[in-house]
Each structure stands twice: as C-alpha cells, then as structure tokens.
Amino acid sequence: MNLTERKDVKTIPIIEMNDEQLMDASKNFLLSLKLNEMKTIQEHFLKLERNPTDAELETLAQTWSEHCKHKVFNSSFEYVENGSSENIENLFKETIKKSTKEIMQKENWLVSVFEDNAGIISFNENFDIAFKVETHNHPSALDPYGGASTGVGGVVRDILGVGLGAKPFANTDVFCFALPETPKEKIPKGILHPKRIFKGVRAGVADYGNRLGIPTVNGAIFFDQRYLGNPLVYCGTLGIIPKGFHQKSPKQNDLIVALGARTGRDGIHGATFSSAELSDSTDSSAVQIGNPIEEKKFLDVLLKARDLKLYSSITDCGAGGFSSAVGEMGEETGAEVFLEKVPLKYAGLKPWEIWLSESQERMILSVPEKNIEKLKQLCNEENVEATVIGKFTNDKKLKVFFEKDLILNLDMNFLHKGLPKSKLKAVWNSEKEKATQFSEPENISEILKQILSMHNIASKESTVRLYDHEVQGGTLLKPFMGLTGEAPADSSVVTPVLGEKKAVAVSNSLNPWYGDIDPYWMAFSCVDEAVRNIVATGCEIERIALLDNFCWGSPEKEENLGKLVRTAKGCYSASKDFNAPFISGKDSFYNEFSVNGKIISVPGTLLISAMAVVKDVSKILSPGFKKAENLIYLTGNTFEELGGSAFAHLINDSNGKVPKVDSVKALKSYNALSKASSHGLVKGMHDLSDGGLGVALSEMCFAKNLGAEIDLKKIKTGENISRNDFLLFSESNSRLLVEVEAGKEKEFEKILKGTDFSLIGKVSKEPVLKITGLNGKKIVDQKIELLKNAWRKTLKW
C-alpha cells in the first residue's frame, strides 16, 4: 500500500542524507536519535525504496527513545572497575532482572514482573497488588505544579492500565531539590528558584492525589545543591486487582477505543524530550496540564467495565501518546488507526501531532465489537468520552490513516525490534576509603540539635499535611504517629480490603551521599533500609518486593555509567540476599543542567521502593516510646561508618567509610525482631538511618513527649570505637531501636539470642534526653521540646 502525499504530512528525505545531515535531522525534529539509530532507519527505508513521513520518523523516535526502550540498561557494556575489565551482555538482564529470575525459581507469589505497566505480586486468595514508581523530573523543572501533578496522574494511569486494570489505593512521592534557602543571585538564568519548585511540586502532588481520592501515604524529600536545575520527582502508586486479571491481549478485529480527555497539542515530544538535557530555550509544547477530575471519571468507568469484562486489553497514553499506546498494544497483532476520528480540543493539529500528542488523562482499550455499545453506555453515564479510532489487525503492521490517506505504515517488528544495540563503556575507580578526618566536637548536645534541623532530617510535616493520607479509610500506619502525632513512621501500612487481616506495608529509601563514596553500598544500604523500615512495623512480614528507580546524568560519560553499573550490581546482591525481588523499575537519564557553560549532573540517585504483605494488621507497632521505665535496646552492630552521613556533611568532611551491610546478620536480626514483636514483647520500633542513633532516639521521644536515659558504653560495637560522636551519629545499617516492656528482657533476649543487640537504656517520664558518654560524663541533657523545635523549624512553611 502506498503512502499518500498531503499538505499536512511531510516526507523527510533521509535516504539521500549523509551522516551530518542525518544528525541535523535528528536535532531539528527533536528526535534525540543517535547516528547509528538514524542510519538503521535510513537502511530500513532504503530497502523499502521510499522516504519516511514525519509521522513515521516521529513514531520511531518515540518508540526508540531512552524513555520507552531503556536503551542504556539493555546495552552491552565494557565495564572497567579499578583497571580490570568485564563484559556485560545486557546490564538489566545481568543485574536487576537476574535476582528476580533466581528468586522466582523458589517463590510462587510473583504474578507479573517487568512486562507490564507495573509489577504485580499476590496479596491473598482473591486479590493481587500492583506497584509502580515513575519519575517526572524534566516537566517538574519547567512547570513544578503541572509537572508534578501530571506525574501523579501518569503513574495512577499506569496502575489503571496494568493487567486489565487495578484500583489505585495509595500513592507515594519522593522529591530531590536544592536548598530552599539558596540565594537568588546563585540561580542560573532559566531555572526556577528551588523553593518555588518545592512549593509547586508538593501542591501539584497534593492537588492531583487528593482530588482523585487516593491517599498519599509515604515519601521522602532529599536536598542537595546538585539538584538546582534538575529536581527529581518520583511518583508512585499501589493498586489492587482481582486474581486472574493480570493478563491481557488484544484480539484481531477488536476495536481500538480512546477513552477520556480530548487530544490537544500538549506535551508533544515528551518522550524524546525526557531523553535530552535541559536548556533555557525549552519550549512550552513539552508541558502537559493535568485534570484530575477527568481521570477520576474514567477511573470509575474502567473499574466497572473491567468487572463486566468489556475489553480484552488496556494501556495508558503516556509518553508518546497514541503512538506509544497503540504501537505497544498491537505489537503481536498489528493495528489500523484513523486519526480524523480522534476527538480534538481544538482544530488545526497536524496528523503527526494528533498521533504523538501527550495530552493527559487518556487511555487506550481494545474492545470486542459486541461490547462497544455497553461500554459507551457506561461512559455516557459518567460523562466520559469513548471513541473508536481503529482496530487491531493480524498483519503485524502499524498503519495510520488521516482522512482515508495512509500516512504511516511501519512494520511492528522493525518498530519494536529494529533498534540497534549499542555497546557502552563504563569506568569506575574506587578510592581507598579514608577514615573520618575531623576531631570530636565539644558540644555534642548542640551538634544533635543541628543534625535534627538539617534539611534531610528535619520534619517534613508541613508537606505531608497537605496530602490526604486517610481517604479510602485504609491507612493504618500513617506518616506521623504517636499521641502528639509528631513522630515519623518508617513505613506506612495500608489495607486495600477493609476488614481483611492482611495489609500492605510500603517504604522508600534513597541516599545519593553514600553513592558519592561507593554506589554499590548505596544500593545495598537503600535495600536494607527499605526492608528495615518494613520490619519496624513490628508485623510478621512476607513477600517483600522492590522497585528500582535510577535518576542519572548523561549516559555519554563513562564515569556516570561506571557508577550506574556498580549501583546495579549492588541492587542485584542486595535483592538476592534479602530474597526481595525487583518487580518493576524505571530509569531517567540526562538529569543535568548547565551553568555558565558548565554541566552539572545530579548525583546518581537510586530510589528503592519496597512493598510487603503484612500478615496481621492487629500487630502493627507505631514507632514512638510508649511508657516510662520500658527498656531501650539497640539491635544490630555499630561501626565507625560516617562516610556520606548527615554528621559528616554537617562538619563538611567528604571522607569516611560508607555504611556496609552484612545481610546474613541483618536478616537473622530482622526475623528475631518480628518474632519478638509477634509475642507482644516489643512496644515500639524505629529504624536508624540518617543521623544515626541520636536522631532515632529523639524521634522516638517526640511521640508522647517521654524522655530517655542512654549510656553509650553499653553499645556493642563491631570495632573499637572510642568517640561519642561516632557512636551517636554513625549510620551503620541494619540497626533498629526497640522499646521492650519492662520485665520482659529475659524473654526478649532469649528470642534475640545469636544476633547483635545491646540494652542501652530506658524510657523516662521526664521529657529530657539524657545521654552518658564513654567517659561516664553526661554529653546530652536536652529537653525534648527543644530537640523537637530544632527538628520542626527548618521546613515549617
């Protein structure tokens, strides 16, 4: 079938182009394609003896974008670590996916991994649970409110489009910003002030999530100046789906139905744009505007239609719009689309713009013809527009028509499998870890207050309270707990099925400061912390599943890739050791910006999100201290590990040893704690992370304004530690603070036998934190109120 010439469809004469012209074309059309990719397209069309249309070239660029095909992770690598070289055939398959594959051989609760919009695990006999975390960094840098809200909208649609559709029941959001106090004159041209970005992003997340009626239950905010021009915005959603609904496939002759909002010029080039670095000339067509009410309407329709089995497959219109949604859905069949049928917001869109537009709040369904009337009726009831725009075929071709003219005719096989594989070089050189260089500060009490008020540690309550974390009524362990409602919880527990004994725990962990020293241990620490946060719920845990989210700088730099490979290796080891498989993930590259011609790249940032099935919700513990005279135990082992710690950053020391993980010991300790907790011996549990013991102790005191008396001499350490500041602020992994009911120490210690633990003090009625140092002198004697004020003031706006 021949393509038709039209005024509004351009043909791009690529078969006559030389290398330079090919690259010019890639740049001018904002395709973000590399030379070898452009050449592969050229060869393909040479064989077809014709030139591609703009729609065809745009479709290829979108489908082959980093955003959609994860080119870096699927590349082969020559990885050089400290001079010794190793070949990696496919980074993703040999790290992240490998541990999942290995765990799948012995576990049967993984329902769908890495193949759909989200990962799915089994929840109970009737339901499965899906989880997905997305990034929306570049749009949020340009329009913080719009970028963040469409980030939430997008990940919610991922959950609606996983399997035959899951019902979203919780959101999580994690942000990375530069310091809100950055002086105005230090902000480069074309970049919004970090405080403005922060306020816009959190308002966007709150508005979208709240209006959809999905509770935002968990998150984190991390600050570092390297996020100045390129903030990170991670949006995650959990959904519940009845068993048996995870598989989908469109059948031949099924109708292609566009559902939801109309199509405009919004967000054209989002997929290719997210694969390029930011500059101050970026134009507004990359920005999408969200409309949560529209999404809420079709959310309700879709769940009804799903239960009536009205459609055979579904996916969301995300980056790449119809091109991506129909192209992916019809990969095994083929598809024909008639663009003039697409309802538009306004006239004047070129055919390729309709095809590629990233207008928000749209879904694509494949509907057997016999069900279309019923579906339309359901949609009418909720005021949702549903339009048949084409049908699935059996010729494995993607054909797009506009007013009867064929404007796109691509082979599905070439579209999805034609992308040339690249070989990348990655280099990582470890420097020998140096011991911490600074001397012990005199006033530890003052240091504790300063650490509590550091941005990364300070209370995020002013942000969290903007989010509705209660809607749907299933949030059991909330972001802030305790009698005062001021003690931060390590993870959240939500029950998607009201009245069910089982629930879902969810937590997030990231710490790029560890990655500055060694990305391998950053990954390991993140997994350990995410798992530890879930252990701190005190419940018996089964089925911990992980999501990985990489936000990196340019993949064209060998050292960036070196860090990437080393992080991925850490992910593999940690996931395997903790028996916690990755079920889904995401990567985002080119997170960098230029200041006076100098490129500043974000620190390689890995977010690990974990979810787990909690066996019995009646056993949930909140983190704070409950009763005076109860005993305070520290489990795990303390080392002189201050590399990348909050304390080291406060003192401005970039040296120090990064926290490591002994996963065998950690697991043994976690299991023993869960057991002790299920025996009712534990009254409160809180994990030690940023700021170490000092911060964890303070936070536990905030719950009920109780105090604590602690003796640092009683801490069992993994090596000889002779300094109070090290004991108090080391960030060694796998440690938890545990409140044990007075008089139950023997029973508790019996269960914990064979693990590392120390009885370090007791809870006191007087609201004062008293810490005795190694020399027997009191080094901290602070009113809880003052510590709390220090912790709450930094971000109280």
Partner 1 sequence: MLVEVGFRNGKFDALGESVKQSIIEDLNIKTIEKVSYSEGFLLPESFSQKQAEELAVKLFHDPINQIFSVNSPVKKDSSFVITVQYHSNVTDNVGIAAEEGIKDLGFEFKKNEHVRSLKKYYLYGSLSEKEAEEIASGLLANKLVEEFDVKKC
> Residue 792 interacts with partner 1 (CB under 8 A)?
no
Could you tell me if 529 and 644 are in contact, meaning their C-beta atoms sit under 8 angstroms apart?
no
The single residue among 10, 50, 196, 211 that binds partner 1, judged by CB under 8 A, is: 196
> Residue 270 interacts with partner 1 (CB under 8 A)?
no
Q: Which of 67, 246, 269, 455 is catalytic?
A: 67
Name the minimum Å distance from CB 158 to partner 1. Answer: 21
Coil, helix or strand for 493? strand
> Residue 381 interacts with partner 1 (CB under 8 A)?
no
> Residue 721 interacts with partner 1 (CB under 8 A)?
no
Q: For partner 1, what does the binding mask look like between residues 338 and 357, x meaning CB under 8 A?
A: -------x-x----------
Report the run of H or E that residue 22 belongs to, with start and end: helix 19-28
Nearer to partner 1, 283 or 556 (CB): 283
Among this protein's residues, is 416 annotated catalytic? no
Name the minimum Å distance from CB 201 to partner 1. Answer: 13
Could you tell me if 315 and 331 are in contact, meaning their C-beta atoms sit under 8 angstroms apart?
no
Which of these, 737, 491, 785, 729, lies nearest to 630 by C-alpha position? 737
Name the minimum Å distance from CB 603 to partner 1. Answer: 26
Nearer to partner 1, 453 or 635 (CB): 453
CA distance to 115, 169, 599, 789, per residue, from 328 (Å): 11, 26, 35, 52
The single residue among 33, 287, 326, 494 that binds partner 1, judged by CB under 8 A, is: 287
Name the minimum Å distance from CB 383 to partner 1. Answer: 9
Query: What is the rounded distance in angstroms from the CA atom of residue 606 to the CA atom of residue 575?
Result: 14
Q: For partner 1, which stretch binds (CB under 8 A), given 82-90, 137-145, 368-376, 731-739?
A: 137-145
Residue 431, amino acid: E
The single residue among 291, 491, 732, 734 that binds partner 1, judged by CB under 8 A, is: 291
> Residue 146 interacts with partner 1 (CB under 8 A)?
yes
> Residue 193 interacts with partner 1 (CB under 8 A)?
yes
Q: What is the DSSP string of 508-530?
A: EE--HHHHHH-HHHHHHHHHHHH
Query: What is the rounded distance in angstroms from the CA atom of residue 564 to the CA atom of residue 566?
Result: 5
Nearer to partner 1, 552 or 593 (CB): 593
Report the run of H or E that residue 571 belongs to, with start and end: helix 558-577
Q: For partner 1, which stretch binds (CB under 8 A), given 278-286, 438-446, 656-664, 773-781?
A: 278-286
Residues 6 or more apart in contact with residue 439 via CB below 8 angstroms: none
Count, residues near partner 1 per rule CB under 8 A: 27
Kindly calculate the radius of gyration of the chain based on its CA atoms and give it in whole angstroms: 27
> Residue 179 interacts with partner 1 (CB under 8 A)?
no
Query: What is the rounded distance in angstroms from the CA atom of residue 771 to the CA atom of residue 124?
Result: 46
Residue 141, amino acid: A
The single residue among 9, 12, 55, 142 that binds partner 1, judged by CB under 8 A, is: 142
Could you tell me if 583 and 110 are in contact, meaning their C-beta atoms sit under 8 angstroms apart?
yes
Among this protein's residues, is 67 annotated catalytic? yes
Nearer to partner 1, 464 or 696 (CB): 464
Query: What is the rounded distance in angstroms from the CA atom of residue 196 to the CA atom of residue 201?
Result: 8
Query: What is the rounded distance in angstroms from the CA atom of residue 647 to the CA atom of residue 434?
Result: 16
Q: Which of 44, 70, 136, 455 is catalytic?
A: 136
Nearer to partner 1, 193 or 675 (CB): 193
> Residue 359 interacts with partner 1 (CB under 8 A)?
yes
Name the minimum Å distance from CB 266 to partner 1. Answer: 6
Burial category of 534 from C-beta neighbours within 10 Å (exposed 0-12, middle 13-18, buried 19 and up): buried
Q: For partner 1, what does the binding mask look like between residues 292 and 311, x meaning CB under 8 A?
A: -xx-----------------
Nearer to partner 1, 282 or 671 (CB): 282
The single residue among 6, 199, 668, 770 that binds partner 1, judged by CB under 8 A, is: 199
For residue 725, the Cα-to-chain-centroid distance in whole angstroms is 33
Could you tell me if 614 and 537 are in contact, meaning their C-beta atoms sit under 8 angstroms apart?
yes
> Residue 87 interacts with partner 1 (CB under 8 A)?
no
Q: For partner 1, which stretch binds (CB under 8 A), given 260-268, 449-457, 534-542, 594-602?
A: 260-268
Query: What is the rounded distance in angstroms from the CA atom of residue 583 to the CA atom of residue 545?
Result: 6
Name the minimum Å distance from CB 305 to partner 1. Answer: 23
Phi/psi zone of residue 733: left (φ > 0), alpha (ψ -120 to 50 degrees), beta? Answer: beta
Nearer to partner 1, 280 or 340 (CB): 280
Q: For partner 1, which stretch binds (CB under 8 A), given 106-114, 263-271, 297-305, 723-731?
A: 263-271
Name the minimum Å distance from CB 287 to partner 1. Answer: 5
Burial category of 517 from C-beta neighbours within 10 Å (exposed 0-12, middle 13-18, buried 19 and up): buried
Which of these, 384, 342, 343, 391, lies nearest to 367 by C-alpha position? 391
> Residue 553 interacts with partner 1 (CB under 8 A)?
no
Q: For partner 1, what does the binding mask look like between residues 26 and 45, x meaning CB under 8 A?
A: --------------------
Which of these, 387, 322, 315, 329, lies nearest to 353 by C-alpha position? 322
Residues that bind partner 1 (CB under 8 A): 142-146, 192-193, 195-196, 199, 264-266, 282, 284-285, 287-291, 293-294, 345, 347, 359, 797
Active-site residue list = 67, 136
